[in-house]
Amino acid sequence: MTEAFADALAPFPVRITIPVAWGEMDAMQHVNNIVYFRYMETARFAYFERIGWARPLSDTRIGPILASARCLFKFPLTFPDNVIVGTKVTQIERDRFTMRHRLMSERHRRLAAEGEGVIVAYDYGINRKAELPEAIRARIEELERGAPPLAE
């Protein structure tokens, strides 16, 4: 990685590499916009796995649910390429947290998109939001403080 390219991903404790598939391109000959959201979803779940929250907690049935998502498209991705997606938590509240995603084109060494998602703690037993479990909050804070990044 070039220094500027690596610096762009440095603040993100979870980073994954996803190959661009030929079938992800649309009639305009670039990766369709919905695929960027799939890339962010894949990175979000890598983060959840890292903090032990990829499924609802067995004792409380509280798990994550996506409340909102947005994406700012900066550069069109095309096949062949790899997308490196960096993910971090930027804000934690009583019942939710905000995740930021940075999508970088490995082939072009530049920013392809930036996105954000709001994740709400959700009680899947009673189908309503819940307080963010303290153990999950602590794991997020620990990861954001400097645990080594997950690289795939």
Residue 152 domain flag: no
The string of pLDDT tens digits covering residues 69-90 is 999 999 999 999 999 999 999 9
Residue 79 domain flag: yes
Residue 151 domain flag: no
The string of pLDDT tens digits covering residues 108-139 is 999 999 999 999 999 999 999 999 999 999 99
Q: What pTM was computed for the model?
A: 0.91
Distances (CA, A) of 101 to 58, 66, 96: 28, 14, 16
| Complete DSSP assignment for 45-76 | HHHHHHTT-SS--TTT-EEEEEEEEEEEE-S-
Residue 24: CB partners within 8 Å, gap ≥ 6? Answer: 31, 32, 35, 79
Question: Per-residue confidence at 146, pLDDT binned at 50, 70, 90?
Answer: confident
CATH number at residue 39: 3.10.129.10
Domain count, the chain: 1
Residue 16 domain flag: yes
Q: Where is pLDDT greater, at 12 or 59?
A: 12
Residue appearing with tokens 């795939």:
152
How is residue 24 annotated by DSSP?
A: G
Residue 117 domain flag: yes
Residue 57 domain flag: yes
**103: domain range?**
3-146
Q: Is the pLDDT of residue 44 over 50?
A: yes
Six token digits for residue 41: 């979803």
Six token digits for residue 8: 């762009």
Six token digits for residue 77: 């991705």
For residue 148, what pLDDT is reported? 54
